[in-house]
Amino acid sequence: MSEDLKIIDEVTGSDYKWGFVSNIEADTAPKGLNEDTIRFISAKKNEPQWMLDYRLKAFNQWKKMEEPSWAHVNYPKIDFQDIIYYSAPKPKKTLNSLDELDPEVKATFDKLGISLEEQKRLSGVAVDAVIDSVSVKTTFRDELAKLGIIFCSFSEAVREHPELVKKYMGSVVPYTDNFYAALNSAVFSDGSFCYIPKGVRCPMELSTYFRINSAGTGQFERTLIIADEGAYTSYLEGCTAPQRDENQLHAAVVEIYAHKDAQVKYSTVQNWYPGDKNGKGGVYNFVTKRGLCAGERAKISWTQVETGSAITWKYPSVILKGDHSIGEFYSVAVTNNMQQADTGTKMIHIGKNTSSTIISKGISGGKSNNSYRGLVRIGKNALNARNFSQCDSLLLGDRCGAHTFPYIECSNPTAKVEHEATTSKVGEDQIFYCNQRGISTEDAVGLIVNGYCKEVFNQLPMEFAVEAQKLLAVSLEGSVG
């Protein structure tokens, strides 16, 4: 293992070093999942009866469902009764200044180019008065509220905007959808809720970072974004800094509902603990993400950079129901060591003149397996539908695997569907060219891989893109040779 991987490992393992306040017994649900657990969670969150009913319905559905096994991943069977489904957010121990931070952790932060303020936030340094994060957040919130934008935690939305939650929750991902969506619907801990009213263009990138209570949303996150007619928003999830999480199983649900002429751009950078180089530990990330272009000319765009998690199982999808609606999916998935990723998208064309674009870049190193699995379905009435898919895989070692499983289902003769995929390794001539100009092999690979992912990075919001590039280089270190 190279020096840098060690650093990452230490960073990712850092929770133990800094520790949590351990007195949490009273706020933790007993192990296991039954109706009582769900009632407990609901009661803890002071939820109204209808929310509890929804959870119980989802739970009953979940009991009837079987764990899916079609994905190209291997993991020991999960014992769903051996999981704690609710524990209250744990306050982190605060440091007095960045100087107290482990220098190696700081080095990684610097490598990623994370700003000083953010470094402080991530490492739990008490933020001084000048840059009081709470006041920053409040300022943002006021500004958003002036425009009528609702941006709050999911529990808050359940209490304060029940009519919106009732109307839209489950409208894109019903609790009957799949095993993990049902589980999430039954036990979801918290998440974000976002509503952009008619004709409003959200003036800033919405990010979980700015949301009060963003810490400790737990393992079953639920996000609901509603863009009303003509609204626009760009939403950021996650961050590039490595995160260690004591929850092994993550089953999140993200729903996006785009009305007529609305546009939603959803960007994710995921860098959860991928386990050590022998595949021990690591997060299981089983996510259901789906957007619905309900009205005409709606547009939903997913951009994701996936570098973490031991197992990723994620298919951000778009249902193109409105005529002329557009779906986009840009993805970079990196796996190293023993990581396994089975990720891709679904584009369901229902309306007329709909179009979708899929650009997926998979990079595998070490002994990892990286699969693209995507569905493009052209419905019978999807006149003049258009799809273009490109899935490239790059192999950085002779013990890793790269796989492509596209499903193309076309039922309309006017549709034009194109899919292409390639698998190859980094060209030796390219590396030689770089070497010849004094660039080390490791840097050369970083350079080439970054170029290879450029199409996707270009879709990320500026500050994210810069961090993502660096993250990629860090993730791949040690995989060359």
Identify the three-state secondary structure at position 452.
helix
User: Does 476 engage in binding with other proteins (CB under 8 A)?
Assistant: no
Kindly indicate which of the ranges 199-207, 277-285, 394-402, 456-464 contains the residues binding other proteins, using the contact rule CB under 8 A.
394-402
User: Does 423 engage in binding with other proteins (CB under 8 A)?
Assistant: yes
CA distance from start to end of the chain: 12
User: Does 430 engage in binding with other proteins (CB under 8 A)?
Assistant: no
- Minimum distance, C-beta of residue 256 to other proteins, in the bound complex (Å): 27
Binding mask 342-381 for other proteins (x = CB under 8 A): ------------------------------------x-x-
Judged by CB under 8 A, the residue of 13, 174, 203, 401 near other proteins is: 401
CA–CA separation, 186 and 189 (whole Å): 9
Helix (H) or strand (E) holding 238: strand 232-238
CB 233, CB 206: distance < 8 Å: yes
**Which CB atom, from 247 or from 384, has the smaller least distance to other proteins?**
384
User: Does 74 engage in binding with other proteins (CB under 8 A)?
Assistant: no
Question: Bridge partners of 331?
Answer: 304, 360
User: Does 338 engage in binding with other proteins (CB under 8 A)?
Assistant: no
SS3 content of the chain, % helix, strand, coil (to 5): 30, 30, 40
Q: Tokens 């190293």 correspond to what residue?
A: 336
User: Does 82 engage in binding with other proteins (CB under 8 A)?
Assistant: no
CA–CA separation, 87 and 70 (whole Å): 31
**Which CB atom, from 184 or from 404, has the smaller least distance to other proteins?**
404
135-to-50, 92, 152, 453 alpha-carbon distances in Å: 34, 20, 15, 37
39-to-132, 185, 212, 272, 381 alpha-carbon distances in Å: 37, 13, 25, 30, 44
- Phi-psi category of 478—alpha, beta or left, where left has phi over 0 and alpha has psi -120 to 50? left
User: Does 424 engage in binding with other proteins (CB under 8 A)?
Assistant: yes
**Which CB atom, from 20 or from 432, has the smaller least distance to other proteins?**
432
User: Does 419 engage in binding with other proteins (CB under 8 A)?
Assistant: yes
CB 437, CB 414: distance < 8 Å: no
Kindly indicate which of the ranges 10-18, 161-169, 312-320, 406-414 contains the residues binding other proteins, using the contact rule CB under 8 A.
406-414
Q: Tokens 């929770």 correspond to what residue?
A: 15
- Phi-psi category of 263—alpha, beta or left, where left has phi over 0 and alpha has psi -120 to 50? beta
User: Does 395 engage in binding with other proteins (CB under 8 A)?
Assistant: yes
Kindly indicate which of the ranges 186-194, 279-287, 314-322, 408-416 contains the residues binding other proteins, using the contact rule CB under 8 A.
408-416
Kindly indicate which of the ranges 308-316, 331-339, 407-415, 455-463 contains the residues binding other proteins, using the contact rule CB under 8 A.
407-415
- Minimum distance, C-beta of residue 396 to other proteins, in the bound complex (Å): 7
Kindly indicate which of the ranges 193-201, 227-235, 421-429, 455-463 contains the residues binding other proteins, using the contact rule CB under 8 A.
421-429
Identify the three-state secondary structure at position 296.
coil
- Minimum distance, C-beta of residue 378 to other proteins, in the bound complex (Å): 8
Judged by CB under 8 A, the residue of 7, 421, 456, 472 near other proteins is: 421
State which of positions 201-260 bind other proteins (CB under 8 A). none
CA–CA separation, 20 and 308 (whole Å): 22
Q: Kindly state the DSSP code that residue 30 receives in the 8-state scheme.
A: P
The contact set with other proteins (CB under 8 A) reads: 70, 72, 378, 380, 393, 395-425
